[in-house]
């Protein structure tokens, strides 16, 4: 589901301290012969066949092809020897009965409707069974109003509007895609009093400004529209009617009107071909420089009554089945330790890139693991593969499954490994920092299809070359690690794909990996042109990177499943937490300093003097100065965590190889659920579903991760009481984590 | 002539150290009553009358209206009591006989020609006497070739092309305006083997990407073309046939073929309406992200033979008279000390903004000084006002005059004060750092027309507010000074207006000042739409800022002319030199570090690994690692300069008020020509006309200043032997400067 516009960013944590090098733990050596046998069963040709079939018709939630793909996936798993079944949930899934968007004044122009066929792309020729362009979980309505351009529609944009004296109350906003998660745009518009919201794809961001448009190139053509979900996933993902519990038959369901995650105003997405017709008519102040996109017009903000728009959406709000395919290979030694791995299968339309590029890679893994099983291999732990449905609408399939199986997962889940769209380019990885070394070692073992060096080496080369070209680079911690030849840090997880319920709600450590950065899937993201033709022409010809992804994730599964000793490194976890704490302290200090400067400048009238009287921009809003935050308890906790982690890693390195099986088993149990200690059952402020205090998707970023979110977002949002409360709470969970590491160390040391 | 796209940048030196606060010298207090009397004669209404008349017809060099404007200016000066005359030089000035630019393949499209009339702009209705769009001093020719897009056509752009395996040899390049001086584009194209050059105005840079286009707004309309000079002014400005000497009748003249500053390949400017027709047809690699402009196309580099262009220019290379109007008010006490002040009068077409906005302000000053004279005031020093001709073509009028009067100027010139285009907004100033305090004190004494605070206060507010909004700001030295309430640093001088010969060739300290930043003159710069209508609608309605400029420069003239004690502060000069040296050392260190990194990355194959195999970008060129540079002598000299300057300023502050007239006179003589000590008669490498070792226009920036240029450019261009030689030479001139200050201090101290 997630669109990675800057692929490599996924790999790199946005943190500033140098990676602490963990002692080399005496972990199980990878079984290279088994991995070679695994690789032998991975085939790009297989993936082409599966992708071509599954992408041959629209296969969104509730569609016949969606059901057929579930059955086909089930059949494949069974054929390969897995214990597989379809597990179905009934979720609220709105589909449009009618969508209307038209300019009323200065002239009547009807806009919107289904995307047209594109030459060279056979599946685009028949869109009769495709969902029309719309955004799911907007609020149905029929409104007419004055149009205002709000740039990306993010909080900063509304602050800029306020300084120009422009209000969106009672108006319809038009926002461009980008700058933050789609769903925040109508939500913030609604919060600011707007009555409707249009979201369009600007050609600067993914159209001709990025490259030749489809079908000549891979970039977004003028009539392509990005569908998507606008479910308020900052509150919780999954079925809006069953928050926190599985949407099983007979589950207690909310009334739709009571569902917190459904928006109240109508919203529709739009192509840039259509958007130009509206934006070209706007008058009023010229948009600030950073707001200007790639259309051949002067971008104005509007809001002066010149352009009136009629926007109406009417949906069928039906309970619809989502079909997850769940397949298992039982563990021979530790059947109650589950290694869970998933990729969604549902698409907005044909979804060759999103999600079938990742789903096909997962099928290759399943086939290869099945082959190993046939050859007599028995995994030590249980392997659970999941082909999720309903991801696009709000991580429905994975969330309902995780909620329905919450107790079992708490007791059994070791890790959750996720993939989604995949393409040509560089390996990226995000996830729980204790798995950082595993990611690094696996990426060093898989060959990049284009260059013949390891994925790790290519990624490091790219990171350093890009930093050189940019004269710096944006991620000092990663660059320093690359220059030192140390493990590269991995990014923290936000949201945007199926790991959310696992990591944020249940505390199951998770990883999200994929290749990308040289593909052009962004140009057709969530449009009818995300097709087999586009995928195999512009994104991963021959699906070479599909096979590479299978090899990466397959190694992760094998190494975790069969590990005798922990593959995790807690020094890396402690280093990451230390870096996040450093960032949050810097944030608080910078905010305070900036608040002080703002006060001084306002007192001196500097903003007034700087403003062009003919194009006036008012001073920023008056805000309370950021106070000093009580960081001591959190600093204490992070310090303790560092010590405990370092001591544990050292003990494991010194004595791990000589541990007897009973202690190994005890250690495995002690560490399996350690990340669940990061949860606070009360959750984050205003969103109790999110319980992990180490990371969360940002309330105002949507996909982007916020680390130490209870503290960080409280500072950002000026909830200073919350900030002080959450330094304490976060300190508590990190201290518990450290205490568990001490226990585990005692096991290693034979105490 | 110069286009200020970032007005405030002019004010702010690109340096990093905090301004040293000079002791408050016991300088003459300004005569506020006289300044008030001066102001009383300054009238925006006058300026409107003069501008409207002079901008009523094209008045380029050699035109009847150009001659008429010279006569009208002469008459005004005479009417106001000045000793005025016209001084004429005969310069080589090419005008087009024919210009041809057309696409040949993939289809024939004729482009170019005169700009069309624009509704609402009366002077645009008749362009029969206007020069057509062209660039002066290109090399005539008739060529047909494959087209290559080279972005701004600067050295970095050619490096980027080389890494993509694209050569311009035998081809025609199309470069967009911006990123460096116009004249560098055809010069660098020629140096890289191109046979022709087109320069176009991209709408992102000054067209609809900046605001509504003329006449609805002030930005560049699709058919507007920027004319200009492409004389190779990095070698020397002025008449190409008489380098270093005045182009008087009978002067020794080079053959045209021997003139170093005339290019060898044909070049023409182009509108974006025309350029789109060419650029849309280009194929080959997609242009790098930073190369992409505002046209609704995917920018490609071309060069693969797809687009063939025919470009032909034939010029009339005639000796043409330029008419400077030179007017004097004789000094009563120090007639042989000249305060010189100038603004050019010639334009590419109507030139309401460039140059008449500044020229009209200068006329107001002349009228006001004449009125003071009529009232009995007699200036202590001689005032020389100059209305220059031929600036647009290459600073012809001012350079020839300065060269012809070089000996006299060396003996008499105190300072040269320049203005050029002026508009609504913020005061900016560039110039010799010893005049920094004068600029600051004058800017505090003149009221900003729009806000009612002083120009200084508005400028400071803008500087600090902008730094706050940008979360930093680009000029730490200026921001620190503004926050401390200290004098703001002024920028060093590059080129682009008539001060060049004074400061760079003769060592006469110079200032260049003006208002701007809220005008929209950039949108019609050097086009037929730089008109009275545009100026009074979008740039400075009512010419309020014209009057403010008169008051700023008038105060400078009065305060320098009538000063009993130096208005200069040498501590500011020493601080600036110290900051420049710091920058140059940082530059050398950063370059060395970067060279080392590049070597490492190339050895590791990082650039190859980072490159998309389907869109390959090669490694950077191999270069010699920047060696350590011998900075000791220069550090010694700057340190000595700091001591001497500080001691002098202190002595003047302590004892200046009690100096007897004879010592004051002696001091005045000792300091009058002190900046001439900054000259090295051998000049800068490869361009001996530029003799000032403190500042020069950059060889590869054109307008942009390079401080300590002998050293800085040698490091940038990897002429490391030159770098070591010029640290010595620069040390020598600064040491001489310090010694002169020591002598002056002896005068102050009565020794």
Q: What is the ipTM of this complex?
A: 0.94
A114 closest CA partner among A137, A101, A215 = A101
Chain A with chain B: Cβ pairs closer than 8 A? 121
Q: Which two tokens stand for residue A734?
A: 């990190």
Does any CB of chain A come closer than 8 Å to the CB of residue B9?
Answer: no
Q: Which two tokens stand for residue B123?
A: 């002077």
Q: How far apart are CA B442 and CA B513, in angstroms?
A: 11
The percent of residues in chain A predicted with pLDDT above 90, rounded, is: 94
Decide if B465 and A607 are in contact by the 8 Å CB cutoff: yes
Residue A6 has pLDDT above 70, yes or no: no
Architecture category of domain A571-748 in CATH: Up-down Bundle (1.20)
Write down the mean pLDDT value for chain B: 95
Average pLDDT over residues B158-182: 97
Q: How far apart are CA A714 and CA A724, in angstroms?
A: 9
Chain B positions in Cβ-Cβ contact with residue A518 (cut-off 8 Å): 612, 614-615
Chain A residues 575-634 within an 8 A CB cutoff of chain B: 594, 597-598, 601, 604-610, 612-615
Answer whether A448's CB lies under 8 Å from A548's CB.
yes
Count of other CB atoms within 10 angstroms of residue B130: 22
Q: What is the CATH number of domain B93-318?
A: 3.50.30.30
Query: In Å, what is the CA distance from B680 to each residue of A654, B398, B638, B729?
Result: 70, 22, 17, 8
Contacts of A289 by beta carbon, 8 Å cutoff, 6+ apart? none
Interface test with chain B among A292, A586, A606, by most B beta carbons within 10 Å: A606
Chain B positions in Cβ-Cβ contact with residue A450 (cut-off 8 Å): 613
Cα of B253 to nearest chain A Cα, Å: 47
DSSP 3-state of A111: strand
Decide if B453 and A609 are in contact by the 8 Å CB cutoff: yes
B47 closest CA partner among B504, B368, B409 = B368
Give percent helix, percent strand, percent coil of chain B, each to the nearest 5.
Answer: 40, 20, 40
Average pLDDT over residues B239-267: 96
B632: buried, middle or exposed (CB in 10 Å: 19+, 13-18, 0-12)?
exposed
Give residue-wise pLDDT tens across range B515-558: 999 999 999 999 999 999 999 999 999 999 999 999 999 999 99
Query: Which part of chain B has CATH 3.50.30.30?
Result: 93-318
CATH class of B7-90+319-568: alpha beta
Query: Which part of chain A has CATH 3.40.630.10?
Result: 7-92+319-565
Secondary structure (DSSP) of A297-326: S--B-B-SSS-EEEEEEEEEEEEEEEEEEE
Alpha helices in A492-624 (DSSP H): 500, 532-534, 544-561, 570-604, 606-610
Query: Which part of chain B has CATH 3.40.630.10?
Result: 7-90+319-568
Query: Which part of chain B has CATH 1.20.930.40?
Result: 571-748
Does any CB of chain A come closer than 8 Å to the CB of residue B635?
Answer: no
Chain B positions in Cβ-Cβ contact with residue A425 (cut-off 8 Å): 612
Give residue-wise pLDDT tens across range A359-414: 999 999 999 999 999 999 999 999 999 999 999 999 999 999 999 999 999 999 99
Q: How much is the pLDDT for A1?
A: 54
Q: How far apart are CA B388 and CA B59, in angstroms?
A: 13
Give residue-wise pLDDT tens across range B453-480: 999 999 999 999 999 998 776 788 999 9
Residue A16 has pLDDT above 70, yes or no: no
Straight-line distance from the first to the last Cα atom of chain B, in angstroms, rounded to the nearest whole number: 47
Answer whether B89's CB lies under 8 Å from B239's CB.
yes
Interface test with chain B among A469, A605, A610, A615, by most B beta carbons within 10 Å: A610
A292 to chain B: nearest residue by CA?
B209
Secondary structure (DSSP) of A201-268: --HHHHSTTTSPBTTTSSBPPTT----EE---TTT--S-TTSTTS---TT-----GGG-TTS-SS-EE
Handedness of CA B163, B164, B169, B173 (dihedral sign): negative
Q: How far apart are CA B520 and CA B509, in angstroms?
A: 30
Q: Compare CB distances from A457 to B212, B462, B609 and report the shortest one's residue.
A: B609
DSSP 3-state of A448: coil
Q: Compare CB distances from B465 to A203, A457, A606 and report the shortest one's residue.
A: A606
Residue A3 has pLDDT above 70, yes or no: no
Q: How much is the pLDDT for A21?
A: 43
Chain B residues 318-337 within an 8 A CB cutoff of chain A: none
Residue B10 has pLDDT above 60, yes or no: no
Q: Compare CB distances from B612 to A296, A298, A518 and report the shortest one's residue.
A: A518
Does any CB of chain B come closer than 8 Å to the CB of residue A472?
Answer: no
Q: Compare CB distances from B458 to A203, A294, A609 and report the shortest one's residue.
A: A609
Residue A544 has pLDDT above 50, yes or no: yes
B484: buried, middle or exposed (CB in 10 Å: 19+, 13-18, 0-12)?
exposed
Give residue-wise pLDDT tens across range A679-695: 999 999 999 999 999 99
DSSP 3-state of B611: coil
Distance of CA B447 to the CA centre of its chain: 25
Q: Which two tokens stand for residue A156?
A: 């900063």
Q: How far apart are CA A746 and CA A740, in angstroms?
A: 10
Residue A28: pLDDT band by 50, 70, 90 thresholds? low
Instruction: Return the exposure string of A442-464: e unless at least 16 CB atoms fall within 10 Å of the residue's CB, then b.
Output: bbebbebbbbebbbbbbbbbbbb
Alpha helices in A428-520 (DSSP H): 436-443, 455-469, 476-484, 500
Residue A29: pLDDT band by 50, 70, 90 thresholds? confident
Q: How many alpha carbons lie under 13 Å from residue B404 in its C-beta half-sphere?
A: 20
Decide if A462 and B610 are in contact by the 8 Å CB cutoff: yes
Cα of A458 to nearest chain B Cα, Å: 5
Give residue-wise pLDDT tens across range A491-529: 999 999 999 999 999 999 999 999 999 999 999 999 999
Residue A751: pLDDT band by 50, 70, 90 thresholds? confident
Decide if A465 and B609 are in contact by the 8 Å CB cutoff: yes
Chain A positions in Cβ-Cβ contact with residue B606 (cut-off 8 Å): 460-462, 464-465, 468
Distance of CA A506 to the CA centre of its chain: 17
Residue B701 has pLDDT above 90, yes or no: no
A85 — phi, psi (to 5°)?
Answer: -155, 165
Cα of B480 to nearest chain A Cα, Å: 13
Q: What angle do CA B713, B718, B720 make, to 5 degrees?
A: 90
Q: How much is the pLDDT for A183?
A: 97
Query: Which part of chain A has CATH 3.50.30.30?
Result: 93-317
Decide if B465 and A610 are in contact by the 8 Å CB cutoff: yes
Does any CB of chain B come closer than 8 Å to the CB of residue A457?
Answer: yes
Chain B residues 687-746 within an 8 A CB cutoff of chain A: none
B205 to chain A: nearest residue by CA?
A289
Average pLDDT over residues B424-439: 98
Does any CB of chain A come closer than 8 Å to the CB of residue B213?
Answer: yes
Alpha helices in B542-605 (DSSP H): 544-561, 570-604
Chain A residues 497-536 within an 8 A CB cutoff of chain B: 518
Q: How much is the pLDDT for A33?
A: 95
Cα of B195 to nearest chain A Cα, Å: 29
Q: Which of A99-108, B367-376, B694-703 has the lowest mean pLDDT?
A: B694-703
Q: How much is the pLDDT for A15?
A: 32
Give residue-wise pLDDT tens across range B400-422: 999 999 999 999 999 999 999 99
H-run or E-run covering A188 = helix A184-191
Decide if A518 and B604 are in contact by the 8 Å CB cutoff: no
Give residue-wise pLDDT tens across range B332-363: 999 999 999 999 999 999 999 999 999 999 99
Cα of A545 to nearest chain B Cα, Å: 14
A273 to chain B: nearest residue by CA?
B296
The percent of residues in chain B predicted with pLDDT above 70, rounded, is: 96
DSSP 3-state of A488: coil
Q: How far apart are CA B571 and CA B560, in angstroms?
A: 18
Architecture category of domain A7-92+319-565 in CATH: 3-Layer(aba) Sandwich (3.40)
Chain B residues 406-425 within an 8 A CB cutoff of chain A: 424-425
Q: Compare CB distances from A466 to B209, B292, B610 and report the shortest one's residue.
A: B610
Residue A8: pLDDT band by 50, 70, 90 thresholds? very low
Q: How much is the pLDDT for B2?
A: 56
Decide if B610 and A465 are in contact by the 8 Å CB cutoff: yes
Q: Compare CB distances from A461 to B219, B462, B604 and report the shortest one's residue.
A: B604
Straight-line distance from the first to the last Cα atom of chain A, in angstroms, rounded to the nearest whole number: 47
Could you please state the CATH topology (level 3) that the domain comprising A93-317 is classified under: Glucose Oxidase; domain 1 (3.50.30)
Largest distance between two CA atoms of chain B: 81
Q: How far apart are CA B226 and CA B202, in angstroms?
A: 11
Q: How far apart are CA A543 and CA A46, in angstroms?
A: 10
Give residue-wise pLDDT tens across range A115-133: 999 999 999 999 999 999 9
Does any CB of chain A come closer than 8 Å to the CB of residue B295?
Answer: yes
Secondary structure (DSSP) of B265-297: S-EEEE-HHHHHHHHTT--SSBPPGGG--SSSS
Chain B positions in Cβ-Cβ contact with residue A604 (cut-off 8 Å): 461, 464
Q: How much is the pLDDT for A470?
A: 86
Q: How far apart are CA A18 and CA A578, in angstroms?
A: 10
Residue tagged 């703001």 (tokens): B488
Residue with the bigger pLDDT between A751 and B465: it is B465
Q: How far apart are CA B119 and CA B122, in angstroms?
A: 8
Interface test with chain B among A215, A423, A465, A607, by most B beta carbons within 10 Å: A465
Residue B375 has pLDDT above 80, yes or no: yes
Q: How much is the pLDDT for B224?
A: 98
Q: How far apart are CA B26 and CA B29, in angstroms?
A: 8
Decide if B462 and A609 are in contact by the 8 Å CB cutoff: yes
Q: How far apart are CA A509 and CA A721, in angstroms?
A: 29
Decide if A286 and B212 are in contact by the 8 Å CB cutoff: yes
Contacts of A408 by beta carbon, 8 Å cutoff, 6+ apart? none
Residue A27: pLDDT band by 50, 70, 90 thresholds? low
Q: Which two tokens stand for residue A576?
A: 């990451």
Cα of A723 to nearest chain B Cα, Å: 24
């Amino acid at each position: 589901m997630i669109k990675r516009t800057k692929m490599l960013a996924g790999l790199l944590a946005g943190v500033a301290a140098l990676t602490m090098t963990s002692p080399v733990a005496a972990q199980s050596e990878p079984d290279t012969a088994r991995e070679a046998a695994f690789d032998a069963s991975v085939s790009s040709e297989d993936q082409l066949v599966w992708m071509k079939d599954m992408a041959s018709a629209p296969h969104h939630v509730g569609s016949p092809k969606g059901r057929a793909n579930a059955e086909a996936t089930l059949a494949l798993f069974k054929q390969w020897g897995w214990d597989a079944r379809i597990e179905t949930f009934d979720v609220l899934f709105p589909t449009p009965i009618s969508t209307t968007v038209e300019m009323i004044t200065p002239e009547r122009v009807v806009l919107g409707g289904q995307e047209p066929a594109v030459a060279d792309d056979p599946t685009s020729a028949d869109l009769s069974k495709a969902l029309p362009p719309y955004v799911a979980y907007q609020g149905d309505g029929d409104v007419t109003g004055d149009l205002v351009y709000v740039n990306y529609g993010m909080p900063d944009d509304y602050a800029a509007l306020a300084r120009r004296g422009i209000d969106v109350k009672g108006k319809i906003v038009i926002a461009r895609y980008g700058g933050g998660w789609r769903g925040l745009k109508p939500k913030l518009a609604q919060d600011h009093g707007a009555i409707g919201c249009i979201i369009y794809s600007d050609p600067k961001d993914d159209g001709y400004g990025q490259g030749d448009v489809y079908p000549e190139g891979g970039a977004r053509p003028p009539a392509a529209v990005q569908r998507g979900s606008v479910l308020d996933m900052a509150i919780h993902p999954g079925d809006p009617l069953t928050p926190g519990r599985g949407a099983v038959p007979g589950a207690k369901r909310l009334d739709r009107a009571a569902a917190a995650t459904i928006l109240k105003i109508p919203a529709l997405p739009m192509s840039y071909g259509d958007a130009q017709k509206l934006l070209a008519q706007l008058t009023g102040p010229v948009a600030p420089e950073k707001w200007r996109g790639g259309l051949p017009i002067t971008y104005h903000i509007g809001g002066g009554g010149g352009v009136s728009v009629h926007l109406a959406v009417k949906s069928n709000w039906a309970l619809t089945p989502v079909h997850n395919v769940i397949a298992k290979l039982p563990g021979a030694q530790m059947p109650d330790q589950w290694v869970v791995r998933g990729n969604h299968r549902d698409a907005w339309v044909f979804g060759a890139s999103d999600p079938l590029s990742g789903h096909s890679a997962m099928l290759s893994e399943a086939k290869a693991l099945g082959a190993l099983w046939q050859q007599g291999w028995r995994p030590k732990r249980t392997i659970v593969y999941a082909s999720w449905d309903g991801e696009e609408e709000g991580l429905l399939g994975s969330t309902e499954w995780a909620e329905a199986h919450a107790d079992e997962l708490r007791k059994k889940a070791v890790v959750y490994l996720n993939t989604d769209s995949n393409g040509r380019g560089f390996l990226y990885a995000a996830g729980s920092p204790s798995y950082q070394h595993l990611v690094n070692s696996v990426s060093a073992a898989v060959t990049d299809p284009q260059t013949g060096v390891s994925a790790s080496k290519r990624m490091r080369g790219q990171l350093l070359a890009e930093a050189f070209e940019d004269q710096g680079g944006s991620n000092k911690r990663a660059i320093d690690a690359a220059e030192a030849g140390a493990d590269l840090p991995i990014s923290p997880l936000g949201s945007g794909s199926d790991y959310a319920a696992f990591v944020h709600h249940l505390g199951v450590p998770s990883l999200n990996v994929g290749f990308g950065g040289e593909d052009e899937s962004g140009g057709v993201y969530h449009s009818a042109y995300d097709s087999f033709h586009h995928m195999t022409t512009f994104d991963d010809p021959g699906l070479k990177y599909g096979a590479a992804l299978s090899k990466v994730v397959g190694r992760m599964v094998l190494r975790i499943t069969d590990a005798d000793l922990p593959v995790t490194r807690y020094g890396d976890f402690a280093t990451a937490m230390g870096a996040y704490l450093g960032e949050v302290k810097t944030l608080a200090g910078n905010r305070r300093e900036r608040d002080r400067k703002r006060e001084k400048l306002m007192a001196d009238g500097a903003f007034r003097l700087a403003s062009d009287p003919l194009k006036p921009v008012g001073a920023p809003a008056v805000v309370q100065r950021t106070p000093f935050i009580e960081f001591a308890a959190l600093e204490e906790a992070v310090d303790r965590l560092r010590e405990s982690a370092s001591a544990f890693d050292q003990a494991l390195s010194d004595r791990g190889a000589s541990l007897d099986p009973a202690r190994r088993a005890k250690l495995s149990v002690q560490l399996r659920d350690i990340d669940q200690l990061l949860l606070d059952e009360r959750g984050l402020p205003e969103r109790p579903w999110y319980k992990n205090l180490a990371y969360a998707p940002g309330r105002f970023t949507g996909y982007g991760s916020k680390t130490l979110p209870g503290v960080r977002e409280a500072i950002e949002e000026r909830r200073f009481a919350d900030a002080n409360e959450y330094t304490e709470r976060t300190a508590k969970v990190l201290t518990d984590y450290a205490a568990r590491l001490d226990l585990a160390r005692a096991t290693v040391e034979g105490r």
